[in-house]
Amino acid sequence: MSAVEGDGSTGVPATLSARQLARRRRRESFLRSWRIFRRNRSGMLGLVILAVFAFIALAAPLLASSQGLEVTQATGGVLEPPSSQYWLGTDDQGRSVLTLLIWGARISLFVGLAATVISMVIGTLIGLISGFSGGWAGAVLFRLTEWFLVIPFLPLAIVLATVLGRSLFNIVLVIGVTSWPGTALLIRSQTLSIKERAYIERARVLGAGRWHQMSRHVLPNVMPMVFANTTLTVAIAILAETTLSFLGLGDPTRVSWGSMLDDAFQVGAITTGAWWFIVPPGVCVVLVVLAFTLIGQALEEVLNPRLKGR
Amino acid sequence: MSDLLRMRDVSLTYRSEGGDVPAVRNVDLDLDRGEIVGIAGESGCGKSTLASTILRLQPPTARVTGEVLFEGQDVLTMSWGHLRALRWAGASMVFQGALHSLNPVQRVGDQIAEPIHLHDPETSDKQAHLRVGELLEQVGLPAARARAYPHQLSGGQKQRIMIAMALACRPRLIVADEPTTALDVMVQAQVLHVLSGLVHELGVGMLMISHDLSVLADLCDRIVVMYGGRVVEQGPSKLVFGEALHPYAEALSAAFPRVGDPAARYAPSGLPGDPPDPAALPPGCSFAPRCPRVIDDCTRAVPELRSFGGDRQASCIRVGQP
Amino acid sequence: MTLATNPSVAEAAEEVETSRRHRSYGRYVLGKVLGSLASLAFVLVVNFFLFRVLPGDPARNLSRGRFVSKGQLAAFNKTYGLDQSVPQQFLTYLNNTLHGDLGISIKYRVPVSQLILDRLWPTLLLVGTSTILAAIIGVWLGIRGAWKRGGAFDKASTGTSLTLYSMPEWWLGLLLIAVFAVGWGPIPGIFPTGGLHSVDAQPGTLSGVLDTAWHLTLPVITLTLAYLADYSLIMRSSLLDELGEDYLTTARAKGLRDIVVRNRHAVPNALLPTTTVIALSIGFVVSGAITIETVFSIPGLGLLGVDALETPDFWVLQGTFMVASAGVIAANLVANLLYGLLDPRVRT
């Protein structure tokens, strides 16, 4: 944390200890929040589910060989039902559905997280600036946010994905640049309320620059809300990735849960009754999205006690 | 017994995760027809909580013991149907913070008419409309104001609406819970004037709750001072205000807060510290930690409410001592 | 009994104040309409840039290299006005769009506006029915859950809603098709797997209407469940917000039954934000229909857009995108005006 180093070299002990104090207070408030969070049963359930999937994604090479993804290396028959060799059966190319599922977790989580990072950066920046600077620039940014809010998300994402071409990077980009307005509005309203508080006034009287006020006072205070909002955005981003891949706009060279479902739909797995190709990827999506949603809600409750008991 | 309201040994305990929290402890209180009684004390001393039991409006997590007799019938044990008939028609309330106590999306006239229709289903719309106009004029507002929404009214106007609403069913008792707290000084005086005038004119009994002892001294026949959920002193208002027996009542009246000074509500001058947390009451007399006259005996036992003649009572072992 | 201080002056001032506040509803409406027009202008601009400027060489990119020879390319560019300068193109585009000319479909060789009009009603039927059903059931679930918060019903309905919320709605559609259209175990597949009517159906007759209703049953159930999750969660949380309010204590103190306190005071207030959300979601008609129409092969706007991806038929893509955005803006406006009508506080 840069707050401790900063310009501590001026050697004023009082300032330094004040900063250490601030740091310790932040640590304590984090621990307090964690204690509240731990009592939230649905939040903890979400955390456990997420931990399981994070483990699967990270340990994918250990759990299943990546050769199982190659169509040419496929050993099973077409749409074989679950057996002792293929626990979740095979797909239309004879690949193990379980292997696809394990590797698909990587793509889904990666796209979800990476798109969220983009969305958060854009949303936080625009929200902060439009809330903090007021005046002309603030008004323009606010209008821009509202405009982006009315553009229907899925059609825009589809159009962008079509125009930009089909790759993993583009999918991340498309989801990232279409899902920031909600965050921006949230950050803006938080910034506006924090701006009114006394300590910003004090910082202004003491002659602190705008950037200083923003980075030292506003940002640390909006960060918790950003954090809670992030988890909810990941859920939406993962759903968006699944839907775009299902519509055939995903990266054709990679397997994700969405592209598996696209394959299943295209080869008529529904009419042939190959449930093992349809049910498991969907269940994985539901579980991961639910996990992020539960965690996000629990975080909001921790940060905003008024919501308690929802 | 001509008592309008008779509370006997009323205690209210909130049950929470961290254990039981006694908000009101063993309170006795009497109020006759047409009498005005004030309850004084700082925020958090149990005044409003006590008042909520009169119409059994306490939250479901609270446990109430004792007796709350309204015209001889126990409110705490009567059937729900009986209780609903009593609410507003027998006793009505003027809540604190009229800003939030009115439904924001209904016209105030409709809100005043609602209990009229409820308690007298025979009333025609026209009759109710006329009655609403009459009530509004009684509190000094034009009858046309019935069509306004709460947000179109000023704080003082809203509080008058609340008073008009409280009078709607011609109750025998009005419980006014900090009716003027959110208002500025001039408006506060006007609203109190309207309220006390109507109460005297109509012969209604009133229980008025305020942190402001000087307001109560002006309006009330008797004053009850509460601290830490208990009654610490009661008696004729001039005496309680002028020559208090209990050190807390003395501090409150000595503070003589300027009317409407919000700071005075939380810290009467000359009295350092905060009222006790009901979840962690000090042993013995709750006021002991802040009391200027404290002695060792104060923390040994909860002091009894003792009579001092002339309808005066106080719960302090130091009264009468040098 | 009147007031001590001179009430007439203060009241006169109040009257002026009040009438000024009433007049401002007109200004509120005007503001919202202007805001919507600005949004519409923004969408027009975005639409232009998205399809003509962003791809670099539109003809090559958007046709995915199907025009090999220079002559073909030039012809393509000329047909679609792509040989003009960008500002010139923009003016042409504006002029055409404002006259309802959205270009000609590359695949179907008919005007895009005609295509969109033809495909509009299945989408409206599907999304409209689902929205109405979801609103009724969702609001009811939300009210019951919030009123008995923490009870068995609340826990079950919140859990179900959260799960449905976490589910891609088209996946739910796939499951419903697998179980109720194809058949699964003892459950016979009685519903059609897709389409809007049977081959031999006679449109316009009662049997034709029933046939369409039969075809729409599964897709409507799917979308209803998807929307329901949203609506019930919002209704629940806005009612919980209201339940803490003081005016409900006032209502109870008046002697009203709990059920009356709930239905006359708490619910109407809690419905305000929910109404807005529902009105807004109607705007996302096309978005909502895209995946469901794909899964159930219903020939609506959504499927039109998805099919256009394959060709790619980019005037169609642009047209559906425009309609989708305009729908959101219109719904936004309706939601705001509705809110202004329902909530007296907003008008001032």
Q: Where are the domains of chain B?
A: 5-90+169-277, 104-168
Cα C186 to Cα C23: distance, rounded to the nearest angstrom: 65
pLDDT at C12: 43
Strands B91-94 and B173-177: parallel
In a domain? residue A134: yes
pLDDT given for residue A310 in this prediction = 40
Cβ–Cβ contacts within 10 Å for residue C283, how many? 23
Contact C291, C168 (CB under 8 A): yes
C-alpha angle B15-B16-B19 in degrees, rounded to nearest 5: 85
Rounded to 10 deg, the angle between the A97-133 and A275-303 helix axes is 30
Q: Are A265 and C295 inside 8 Å of each other by CB?
A: yes
> Would you tell me which CATH number, out of the four given (3.40.50.620, 3.10.105.10, 3.30.530.20, 3.40.50.300), belongs to the domain B5-90+169-277?
3.40.50.300
Ranges of residues in chain C with a pLDDT under 50 are 1-21, 56
Contact with chain B for residue C346, Cβ under 8 A? no
Number of alpha helices (DSSP H) and beta strands (DSSP E) in chain B: 11, 12
Residues paired with residue B225 on neighbouring β-strands, in sequence order = B40, B233
Per-residue pLDDT at B147:
92
The predicted structure's pLDDT at residue A205: 64
Chain-chain contact of B190 with C3 (C-beta, under 8 angstroms): yes
Cβ A208 vs Cβ A186: under 8 Å: no
Give the CATH number, domain containing residue A193.
1.10.3720.10
Residue A22 within any structural domain of the chain? no
Residue with the larger pLDDT of the pair B71 and A87: B71
Q: At A305, is the pLDDT very low, low, confident or very high (cuts 50, 70, 90)?
A: low
Asked if B78 and B86 count as a contact pair (C-beta separation under 8 A), the reply is yes
- pLDDT for A309 equals 42
Q: Which amino acid is at A2?
A: S
Q: What is the pLDDT of residue C66?
A: 55
Would the pLDDT of A302 be above 50? yes
Number of domains forming the structure of chain A: 1
Q: Note whether residue C188 is domain-resident.
A: yes
| Pairing of the two strands B3-16 and B62-70 | antiparallel
The token pair at A168 is: 């993993």
Give percent of chain A above pLDDT 90: 25
Tell me the C-alpha distance between A37 and A51, whole Å: 16
Taking the C-alpha atoms of residue C47 and residue C26, their distance in angstroms, rounded to an integer, is 32
Within-domain flag for A97: yes
pLDDT tens per residue across span B124-166: 999 999 999 999 998 889 999 999 998 888 888 898 899 999 9
Q: Per-residue pLDDT averaged across A26-40, rounded?
A: 82
pLDDT for the residue A12: 44
Asked whether the CA dihedral B163, B168, B170, B173 is positive or negative, the reply is: negative
Is position C93 within any domain?
no
Domain count, chain C: 1
Nearest CA in chain A to C316: A159
Q: Which residue of B has its CA nearest to C20?
A: B152
Q: Give the CA distances from residue A181 to residues A125, A144, C214, in Å, rounded to whole numbers and listed in that order.
A: 11, 9, 39
| Banded model confidence at residue B1, pLDDT cuts 50, 70, 90 | very low
A10 within domain boundaries: no
- Contact state of C46 with A243 under an 8 Å Cβ cutoff: no
The answer to whether position A201 is within a domain reads yes
Average pLDDT, chain C: 82
Instruction: Give me the pLDDT at residue C59, please.
Output: 57
84-143 in chain B: CB under 8 A from chain C: 84-89, 92-93, 95, 97, 100-106, 114-115, 118-119, 137-138, 140-142
Handedness of CA C140, C142, C146, C149 (dihedral sign): positive
Residue A13 has pLDDT above 90, yes or no: no
Question: Which chains contact A through at least 3 pairs of Cβ atoms less than 8 Å apart?
Answer: C
Q: Give the mean pLDDT of chain A.
A: 81
Residue-level pLDDT at B38: 93
Q: Are C95 and C89 in contact (CB under 8 A)?
A: no
The reply to whether C177 touches chain A by the CB within 8 Å rule is yes
In a domain, A30, yes or no: no
In this prediction, residue B294 carries a pLDDT of 87
From A13-27, A173-187, B2-16, the region with the lowest mean pLDDT: A13-27
Task: Please say whether the beta carbons of C331 and C325 come within 8 A.
Answer: no
CA atoms within 13 A of residue C157's CA, in its CB half-sphere? 28
Q: Which residues pair with B30 in a beta bridge?
A: B6
Does residue A19 sit within a domain? no
Angle at CA A307, nearest 5°, toward A304 and A309?
A: 130
Structural domain for A98, as ranges: 36-307
How far is the C-alpha of A174 from the C-alpha of A191, rounded, in Å? Answer: 27
Question: Tell me: the pLDDT tens digits for A239-273?
Answer: 999 999 998 888 888 899 999 999 999 888 888 88
Q: Which of B78, B94, B103 best tests the C interface by mutation, with the highest count of C CBs <10 A?
A: B103
- Which C residues in the span 239-258 are in contact with B, Cβ-Cβ below 8 Å? 245-247, 249-257
> B89, C255: Cβ pair inside 8 Å?
yes
What does the pLDDT look like over B226-280, one tens digit per residue?
998 999 999 998 888 888 889 898 888 876 554 445 544 554 456 777 788 888 8
Task: Give residue C216's domain range.
Answer: 2-53+112-347
Question: With 70 as the cut, is the pLDDT of residue B290 above it?
Answer: yes
Structure tokens at A277: 């190709």
State the smallest CA–CA distance between residue C91 and chain A in angstroms: 22
Residue A190 in any domain: the answer is yes
SS3 B147: helix
pLDDT tens digits, one per residue of A222-247: 777 788 888 889 999 999 999 999 98
- Cα first-last separation, chain A: 34
Contact A82, A88 (CB under 8 A): yes
CATH number at residue C198: 1.10.3720.10
Of A39-53, A158-172, A207-221, give the lowest mean pLDDT range: A207-221
Per-residue pLDDT tens for B179-226? 877 677 777 888 888 888 888 888 889 999 988 888 888 889 999 999
Q: Which residue has the higher pLDDT, B48 or C67?
A: B48
Supply the pLDDT for residue C347. 65
| Side-chain half-sphere exposure of A191, counting CA atoms within 13 A | 27
- The per-residue pLDDT for A2 is 39
Note the pLDDT of residue A200.
61
Provide mean pLDDT across the span B46-58.
91
Identify whether the C-beta of residue A222 lies closer than 8 Å to the C-beta of residue A185.
Answer: no
